[in-house]
Structure 1
Amino acid sequence: MQATAAGAVEPSRSRQIPTSQWHVLIAAWLGNAFDGLDASIFTIVLYPAMSELLKTTSHSLVGVYGSVILAALMLGYFVGGVGFGMLADRIGRTKAMMLTILLYALCTGLCALSHNWIELAFYRFLVGCGIGGEVVVAGVTLAESWPGQSRLKAMGFYCAAFSFGYILAATLNLFFGYLGWRWLFVAGVLPAFLTLYIRFKVKDPAEFEILKQYKARLRAKPKSELTSDQTAIIRPTLPQVFSPKNRYRTFLAVCLGSTAIVGYWAVLSWISPWINQMTGTNAIAERSWAAIVMNIGGILGAMSTWLAVDRLGRAMSFRVAFLGACLCNVSMFLTVQHFGPQLLVWCFLVGMFSHIPFALLLIYLPELFDAEIRGTAVGFSYNAGRLIGAAAALASGQLVALFGGSYAMAGACCALLYLGGVLASLFLKPQPITLGQIASLEQSSEQEPVQLAK
């Protein structure tokens, strides 16, 4: 056994990284990058798209109906995250991952065919189902495939991919935005080809394969011969997320995830139309550069998360990230009056602090739950916040209207919700790390439980 700098203890592993692990990282990274591409297209083109579909230039109306589209995406994230998480526990990680990518890629393309805002909301709901599932399934697969300290670095690299995808969307808008917003959605079909790579190069983690074989042996036995722990393994996974063993972990994870999600979608989504409002133009270049700078900050934040965990621990890292995101967003929305270098500096800082919690979540959540329910538990915990995010998106749209079409005032008010994450992080306490420990199997009795850092 070896102790990590963060205070956790994990089994010693060879430093030699097998090719199979690199394939998992590449597939997960590309999947998350394309998540970023397809998820962010609407936020970049929100004002021109909704203006055309609603046949209005009213910022109040665009804010209200735009928030409905964002809420539909959030609802899809929840449905897909839970549904595909359960599916990954049943049919395997790689098969579920391929299905999620196909779903969000094809439905992003369908967004280009929208005739009205209702059609666009429906397609964005389906996009959300795919992206919500992919983030969870890919994150769990990566966590199960990469051991020890290397997992922290791999997860930071994986989470940075979302920002690369956002930058790709912003770059496409910068060079091809003059063609119209629909063509950006057409570009969102490209991720479908990633499924070919996953099909031939990525295999399910060994831990999942062991569990699958063990479940098959248990199902072959008469139920009267099974112990209570063995019976639990072959039960439906979702109810076990709320068992006495997992209840506290699930509640805390939902609180942390909700804060990160609400902050990102109910706050950052208004930066692009806010720029339209400040400039009084279509602002293709201005919106694109703001998105690029913000996500360069996001890349730096995600890539440095492992270092924060190593030096500060999980709880303090969450605390610093949420507090930083709150202060930077409020300061940006209340002090910036026109597009310029000051806004770009704030966008960089906002991007950095708002992306760190997502990397922390994908480091922390897979550590909490046993392999037999990990996909379901992470899917629910990570995405339950999407329901709150959907409500917050609707509320923020009403705030835009309440403040007379002011995206800045609505964004500043919603940014205060980040303080909820600071509060939740105070209740973070040591938990057994279950990664690499199939806790309910016979051989688990020989393994020592390991503890998370505070």
Structure 2
Amino acid sequence: MSSIKTTAAPVTGGDTSLGAFFRDMNASERRTFWACFVGWTLDAMDFMIYPLVIGTLIALWQVDRGTAGLAVTITLLASAVGGWLVGYMSDRVGRVRALQFTILWFSFFTLLCAFAQNYEQLFVARALLGLGFGGEWAAGAVLMGETIRAEYRGRAVGTVQSGWAVGWGVAVLLQFVCYSLLPPEMAWRWMFGLGAIPAVLIFFLRRYVDEPVIAAKTRSADAAHRAKPSIWEIFAPNILKTTLLAALLGTGAQGGYYAVTSWLPTFLRSERHLTVVGSTGYLAMLIAGSFVGYVAGAWLADRIGRRKLFITFAILASVLVIAYTRLPLSNEVMLFLGFPLGFCASAYFSGVGAFLTELFPTRLRGSGQGFAYNFGRGLGALFPTLVGYLSATIPLSEAIAIFAVLAYGLLFIAAVLLPETRGKVLEADD
């Protein structure tokens, strides 16, 4: 059996600027970076379409908020299963091949959403879409984490994470265009239809993106010794504590994010009395802050370490969510407050991918990272539904704040209990 090692190497010297990793990349690394960045961007676009059209569907199909929020939850629950399975698949058949499969999968089911005739059909399509949605992150994050050298890993993987804000922005722009040109009952269908575009990325992945050497070497060694990993191996006694704490980290990171972003468009319209088009500027400010937060978080992940990044922004995001949703602010003040809210609610995400890559050994990295992140996504998936149901008895803004702060508390606890991994060198020895 191959001997798998993950050794620590302190980050010393070198160029600490945000763009240093990109300047030093070779051609293969650049292709991998752009493939993962675009894939994550389009993944975000597909997911965020539903929160943007949820108000239309509530009115069109006469469903209550709790039921409408359930479609967000089922997508995230399915993504928990898909992320774990695709992560395991990437350990068995390769990171690139797993990534190709997931992009094709979620593109197809996004297109299928456009043809739903009722809420039940859309619910099923979103559930199936979730399997690929979770898998795309699992395969892509491991692919990036293994391709980029240790001293740049936080910045590179974190910068790819910023593609989520870009994808969210594309979805909002798509909403603005579709709702400006078409009646609402047609606009939401066109948004889902255009969400099938990610399938085009498959052709680029097939031709230009290489499998990480460390992953290919480890799989070859395991195959030679007939020792391919089991899907349950991440629960072995020697790694169980890491798996559980990493899953807690994923729950906190994503529970807060989805509690806020899934319902914020509806909050702006129902409690701040903005129209769909009128809320675009508020969402744009939030998204701009989110993008800058991802990029700044990527730099901070390498600069101050993963744990300090999580702890700092868990606190700041809690404070800003409460201020945005509960303080009696004017719409003008809220417009500008959206930038720091987006910044703090996104910055910590930039450290998650690199951190999980460094916590697990190479032969289990796909399944371990896929499970931890997507188990967190699965539990975090309950938050949008709980927010929706709780908002039947208390204001939506209060429900959002309660569950967001609860989630950020979990992120804080997990960060305190897990070790710092900044600068770890990943190795696989035959």
Which of residues 205, 224, 232 in structure 2 aligns to 1:217? 224
CA offset digits 1:153-173 (Å, max 9, x no partner): 211210000100000010111
Larger relative contact order (C-alpha < 8 A, sep ≥ 6)? 2
2:427 aligned counterpart, secondary structure: coil
**How far has the Cα of 1:234 moved from its partner?**
2.1
Which of residues 236, 243, 256 in structure 1 aligns to 2:236? 243
* Structure 1 contact 258–385 (Cα < 8 Å) conserved: yes
Which of residues 130, 146, 149 in structure 2 aligns to 1:147? 149
**How far has the Cα of 1:307 moved from its partner?**
2.8
**Residue matched to 2:18:** none
* Structure 2 contact 103–199 (Cα < 8 Å) conserved: yes
1:285 aligned counterpart, secondary structure: coil
Query: CA, structure 1 residues 361+348, in 2 after alignment: closer, same or farther (shift >3 Å)?
Result: same
How far, CA to CA, are the matches of 1:38 and 1:16 in structure 2?
32
Asked if 1:204 is matched to 2:195, the reply is no
Higher alpha-carbon deviation: 246-255 or 22-31: 246-255
* Structure 1 contact 259–385 (Cα < 8 Å) conserved: yes
Q: TM-score, normalised by structure 2?
A: 0.90
**Residue matched to 2:261:** 268
Query: Identity percentage over the alignment?
Result: 26
**How far has the Cα of 1:260 moved from its partner?**
1.1
Which of residues 328, 333, 337 in structure 1 aligns to 2:320? 328
Which of residues 389, 393, 397 in structure 1 aligns to 2:388? 397
* Corresponding pairs, count: 411
Query: CA, structure 1 residues 186+161, in 2 after alignment: closer, same or farther (shift >3 Å)?
Result: same
How far, CA to CA, are the matches of 2:22 and 2:99 in structure 1?
28
Query: AA paired with 1:367?
Result: E
CA offset digits 1:61-95 (Å, max 9, x no partner): 2x211211111111121011011111111111111
Which of residues 222, 234, 239 in structure 1 aligns to 2:228? 234
**How far has the Cα of 1:391 moved from its partner?**
2.3
1:181 aligned counterpart, secondary structure: helix
Mapping 1:173-188, distance limit 5 Å: 173-178=175-180, 179=182, 180-188=187-195
Query: AA paired with 1:200?
Result: R
Query: CA, structure 1 residues 271+14, in 2 after alignment: closer, same or farther (shift >3 Å)?
Result: closer
**Residue matched to 1:103:** 105
* Structure 1 contact 167–292 (Cα < 8 Å) conserved: yes
**How far has the Cα of 1:39 moved from its partner?**
0.8
Which of residues 346, 361, 368 in structure 1 aligns to 2:352? 361
Which of residues 25, 36, 48 in structure 2 aligns to 1:17? 25
**How far has the Cα of 1:394 moved from its partner?**
2.2
**How far has the Cα of 1:336 moved from its partner?**
4.7
Q: TM-score, normalised by structure 1?
A: 0.86
Query: AA paired with 2:197?
Result: L
**Residue matched to 2:41:** 33
**Residue matched to 1:67:** 69
**Residue matched to 1:415:** 404
**How far has the Cα of 1:393 moved from its partner?**
2.4
**How far has the Cα of 1:2 moved from its partner?**
6.4
**Residue matched to 1:343:** 334
How far, CA to CA, are the matches of 1:192 and 1:209 in structure 2?
25
Asked if 1:296 is matched to 2:288, the reply is yes
How far, CA to CA, are the matches of 2:206 and 2:48 in structure 1?
26
How far, CA to CA, are the matches of 2:32 and 2:122 in structure 1?
33
How far, CA to CA, are the matches of 1:235 and 1:202 in structure 2?
24
**How far has the Cα of 1:305 moved from its partner?**
1.6
CA offset digits 1:381-402 (Å, max 9, x no partner): 0011122123222221111112
Query: AA paired with 2:352?
Result: L
How far, CA to CA, are the matches of 1:334 and 1:2 in structure 2?
45
Q: What residue ranges of structure 2 are gaps of 5+ in the alignment?
A: 1-7, 14-20
CA offset digits 1:133-162 (Å, max 9, x no partner): 001110100010010222222112100001
* Structure 2 contact 61–118 (Cα < 8 Å) conserved: yes
How far, CA to CA, are the matches of 2:23 and 2:283 in structure 1?
37
Mapping 1:127-138, distance limit 5 Å: 127-138=129-140
* Structure 1 contact 173–184 (Cα < 8 Å) conserved: yes
How far, CA to CA, are the matches of 1:14 and 1:35 in structure 2?
23
* Structure 2 contact 29–148 (Cα < 8 Å) conserved: yes
Stretches of 4+ moved more than 6 A in 1?
A: none
Query: AA paired with 2:145?
Result: A
2:381 aligned counterpart, secondary structure: helix
1:191 aligned counterpart, secondary structure: helix
How far, CA to CA, are the matches of 2:378 and 2:337 in structure 1?
28
Bigger Rg, which one: 1
**Residue matched to 2:17:** none
CA RMSD of aligned residues (A): 2.2
* Structure 2 contact 247–375 (Cα < 8 Å) conserved: yes
* Structure 1 contact 70–393 (Cα < 8 Å) conserved: yes
How far, CA to CA, are the matches of 1:206 and 1:14 in structure 2?
19
Mapping 1:376-395, distance limit 5 Å: 376-395=367-386
Q: What residue ranges of structure 1 are gaps of 5+ in the alignment?
A: 7-12, 220-232, 443-454
1:436 aligned counterpart, secondary structure: strand
Higher alpha-carbon deviation: 117-126 or 156-165: 117-126
* Structure 2 contact 306–420 (Cα < 8 Å) conserved: no
How far, CA to CA, are the matches of 1:28 and 1:431 in structure 2?
22
* Structure 2 contact 45–170 (Cα < 8 Å) conserved: yes
Query: AA paired with 1:135?
Result: W
